[in-house]
Every structure is written in C-alpha cells, then in structure tokens.
Homo-oligomer: A and B are copies of this chain.
Amino acid sequence: MAKVLAVLGRGAIDPEQPIIRADDLGVLRGDGIFETLNVRGGEMFLLREHLVRMAASARRTEIDLPPYEALDELSEQARQAWLAHPDFDPDAEAALRIVATRGLEHGSEPTVYATIDPVPRERTLPRRDGLQVLTASSGVNADTRGQAPWLLGGAKLLSYATTMAVMRWAKSLGADDALWVTADGYCLEGPTSSLVWRDKDVLCTTPTDTGILPGTTSTYLLQHASKLGLRSEERLITPEKLTRVDGVWMTSSVRGVAFVTTLDGQELATDPEMHSELVKLSGFELPS
C-alpha cells in the first residue's frame, strides 16, 4: 500500500482505509486525471508544473478540478505526513501521486486525493543501466488526436489499461519498456515516459500536437538545454532514424532520465557524458 494518503478536505488518513465508493466514475469508467512527481530530500520536484498540467488535463476532460491552491495544500499535507512517517528517508526518493476522479456516477464533487510511496530501486536503475525498448503501434496517425478532441490527446487520464498492456507485452518479450509509434510510422512517447534524443547539437522531443502527454521532465530538459550547449526542438522522427542519432532517452518524473540501449533489438549509440549531464540537469541522481 501507499505509505501516505491525504484526502481533499480530510487531510492525512490511514492509507489502508478504503476511500472510494463502488459508484465512483474513477473506477467505473477510468474517468479522472492524475499526476505523479518525484519527492527528493522531502521536497516535491516541479510541483507547480505538475499542477498546471493537471489543470490542462481537467479542461480537456471537463472535470471540475479544485483550484491550484487546494491541490497545493493537499500535496503539502501528504508531504508533511511523509516527513513524519517512520519509513521516511531523506536520502531516498519517493513518488507523490495526485488523483482526481470525476466523482460519483449520479453526480458529485470530484474525488481527490494524494499518496506518497517510496520509489523502488528497480525504477531508478535504468538511469544507470539503460533500457531495452520495443516499438508498439499506437494505431493512430501522428495528426489524428489533434483533430479528434474526444480522443483526449495530451490529457493524463486514469484510463491507462492499454498503457499497462503494452508494458506487459514488452516485458513478456524480455524488454524493459515500449515506445509508442504512430500508424504512419513516427515515434511518440513511452507508455509512462517522454522520448528525448540528441541529434548533433539539438536536444529533441516529440511535438505535442501528436497528442502525447507533454512531459514535465522532458520540457525542463529542453528549456535548460542551452546549459549543455544544445539547442532544443520538437521533431517527428521515425524509429529507423532514431537508431542513427547521438543518444536516446526516456524521461519521466519518477524513473527520471534513462537512456535507451536497444530499440527493437538494435544497439543505439550511447553518450555517457551527456547522460550524466542530463541526469544532473534534471535534478536526479545516478544510483550506485
């Protein structure tokens, strides 16, 4: 179970206590949104950026999300409970998750809560060891979700069944992760991570008009790329071309910055020096 649970309007409570009713649309329909962010040394990393993105998800799904200040306070309640928790270790990383469902089926306020859980070591090891990745078709073209608002591109939804399925599929074949590729052959993002690559002096990621989730870590890296002497750019790229760039990473708020070692079995160029710099720039640490 999560180590800490804080519920909007109630504060921190026993995480084992059930808080969601059988008729909550979060479970009946996966109808809700969430954010997950890293807690290091007891501090929440990029909380503001995550809450801003959550508000964007709420607009796309027409969920009546509580105001920024209420979610900020909820996060702080969870963080305080974590600092006071016997398992709290200032040298270890934890993940704060903020969840908002649409509420009950016959109408209600959203159900909103936050949890904190330590990040297990197997989640941070890919920063050191890299990832073997398999491509999987998302089924849609690169421009489809931009034209079909009901497909909810760009929103971080609780409806993650296919996300979980593609990761099970990749792992069943001995890989570590998957990379969504459009039906017309362009790389999108990982199931729970953003795609970042270096092409000479340009740090690149996928354009958001493809319906990917705009990554907080990838956005941060591209915004600060000049510190590493790089320019930044959003680009469409095919898997075939991705195997010929100067380094490929999958970034997420919990796993951090992990480099890709193989794509569909083909070895990629790795760049240990640039990798260390990206990990450091984004505020993560390399596990020993």
Contact = CB atoms under 8 A, between A and B. Distances in A.
Interface of A: 1-2, 5, 7, 15-32, 34, 61-62, 97, 99, 101, 104-106, 113, 115, 117, 136-137, 139-141, 144-145, 147-152, 155, 157-166, 168-169, 178, 183
A158 B161 contact: yes
Given A1-B106, A158-B29, A22 B20 contact: yes
A161 B101 CA distance: 11
Nearest to A147: B137
Nearest to A4: B22
Contacts of A105: 2
Copies in the complex: 2
Given A27-B32, A137-B147, 7 more contacts: A2-B22, A22-B115, A29-B160, A30-B157, A137-B144, A140-B183, A141-B183
A11 to B, nearest CB: 14
A136 B162 contact: no
| Main SS class of interface, A | mixed
A27 B20 contact: yes
27 contacts: A17-B18, A18-B20, A19-B20, A19-B21, A27-B158, A28-B97, A28-B158, A29-B158, A29-B164, A30-B157, A62-B168, A136-B148, A136-B150, A137-B144, A139-B139, A150-B165, A150-B166, A150-B168, A150-B169, A151-B165, A152-B162, A152-B165, A157-B159, A159-B159, A159-B160, A159-B161, A159-B162
A231 to B, nearest CB: 32
A155 to B, nearest CB: 8
A139 B140 contact: yes
A45 B187 CA distance: 46
A18 B26 CA distance: 13
Given A139-B140, A152-B165, A1 B21 contact: yes
A158 B183 CA distance: 25
B161 A139 contact: no
Given A28-B99, A28-B158, A29-B160, A15 B5 contact: no
Given A2-B23, A165-B152, A18 B15 contact: no
A67 to B, nearest CB: 22
A161 to B, nearest CB: 4
B24 A20 contact: yes
Nearest to A137: B148
Contacts of A178: 150
Given A22-B5, A62-B168, A162 B140 contact: no
B15 A1 contact: no
B30 A23 contact: no
Nearest to A15: B22
